[in-house]
């Protein structure tokens, strides 16, 4: 039975799932879905929720980056995504939860704020995807989908400003996990793969790069996900941007 991963091109938790499957050496095929349209497709495929990543593996349906990490460790324990030592495991789970619940979404909101203002930027994030329609056509006719997606992701001006204001503390937390060895160690774990993709995606936004690029978080992301697809040239109002740290 073929394993199949359902993704939306450019989705950071979907790239986490891809990295986890590669880490385990598990073969799979990928199905690319368009935002919004994905919701109905996933329900029709029998998944309980409406987000990617969603994985069909050995007759099971597993949805969500954290759930996929646990399912993969159960199905194929080696190499492990979570440490065997209980204290180390608790620390990795805590960092993974932070990545899933706190870090992913503000970056998603800023990305969609950007798409809302320039949908041509979608092109780079869809590189290599098979969407069933040429990407140029998808972009040309995709205005309503982008508007719905931006609304569903709460990519309003106040939310984008709140996301930007939250970013420095979130990045400090990532650097703290690296400093205490929870992530960034010699053996990759689920939190490494969870957090690196959010930072990798953030680095594709030129407005965010100066806030990140001198941090240990950036070095980790570049190591784990060196070729994150997509690029958003400067688009956010400069007055909204937090002050970038001065290099040490």
Ligand X SMILES: N[C@@H](CCC(=O)N[C@@H](CS)C(=O)NCC(=O)O)C(=O)O
Please, what is the minimum distance in Å from the beta carbon of residue 86 to ligand X? Answer: 24
Instruction: Identify the residue whose tokens are 């091109």.
Output: 9
H helices, E strands: number in the chain? 12, 4
The residue among 124 and 245 lying less far from ligand X, judged by its C-beta, is 124
Is there a contact between 72 and 194 (Cβ–Cβ < 8 Å)? Answer: no
What residues from 91 to 110 belong to the interface with ligand X (CB under 6 A)? Answer: 100, 104, 108
Please, what is the minimum distance in Å from the beta carbon of residue 199 to ligand X? Answer: 14
8-state DSSP, 100: I
> How many C-beta atoms surround the C-beta of residue 80 within 10 A?
17
User: Count of residues binding ligand X (CB under 6 A)?
Assistant: 17
Please, what is the minimum distance in Å from the beta carbon of residue 47 to ligand X? Answer: 11
What residues from 139 to 178 belong to the interface with ligand X (CB under 6 A)? Answer: 149
Please, what is the minimum distance in Å from the beta carbon of residue 239 to ligand X? Answer: 28
What residues from 5 to 44 belong to the interface with ligand X (CB under 6 A)? Answer: 8, 11-13, 35-36, 38-39
Does position 81 interact with ligand X (CB under 6 A)? The reply is no
> How many C-beta atoms surround the C-beta of residue 148 within 10 A?
13
Please give the C-alpha separations between residue 246 and each of 82, 166, 200, 205, 210, in angstroms, as whole numbers: 35, 18, 21, 19, 9
Residue ranges that bind ligand X, judged by CB under 6 A? 8, 11-13, 35-36, 38-39, 51-53, 64-65, 100, 104, 108, 149
């Amino acid at each position: 039975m073929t394993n199949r991963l359902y993704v939306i091109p450019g989705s950071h938790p979907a790239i986490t799932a891809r990295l986890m499957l590669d880490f385990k050496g598990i073969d799979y095929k990928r199905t690319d879905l368009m935002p919004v349209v994905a919701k109905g497709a996933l329900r029709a495929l029998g998944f309980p929720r409406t987000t990617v990543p969603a994985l069909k593996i050995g007759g099971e349906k597993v949805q969500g980056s954290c759930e996929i990490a646990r399912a993969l460790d159960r199905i194929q324990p080696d190499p492990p995504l979570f440490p065997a030592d209980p204290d180390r495991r608790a620390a990795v789970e805590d960092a993974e939860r932070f990545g899933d619940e706190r870090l992913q979404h503000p970056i998603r909101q800023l990305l969609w704020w950007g798409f809302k203002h320039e949908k041509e930027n979608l092109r780079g994030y869809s590189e290599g995807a098979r969407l069933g329609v040429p990407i140029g056509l998808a972009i040309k006719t995709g205005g309503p989908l982008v508007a719905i997606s931006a609304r569903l992701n709460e990519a309003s001006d106040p939310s984008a400003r709140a996301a930007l204001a939250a970013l420095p503390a979130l990045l400090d937390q990532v650097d703290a996990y690296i400093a205490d060895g929870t992530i960034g160690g010699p053996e990759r774990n689920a939190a490494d793969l969870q957090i690196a993709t959010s930072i990798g995606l953030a680095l594709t936004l030129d407005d965010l790069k100066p806030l990140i690029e001198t941090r240990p978080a950036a070095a980790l992301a570049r190591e784990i996900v060196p070729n994150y697809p997509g690029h958003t040239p400067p688009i956010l109002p400069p007055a909204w941007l937090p002050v970038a740290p001065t290099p040490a």
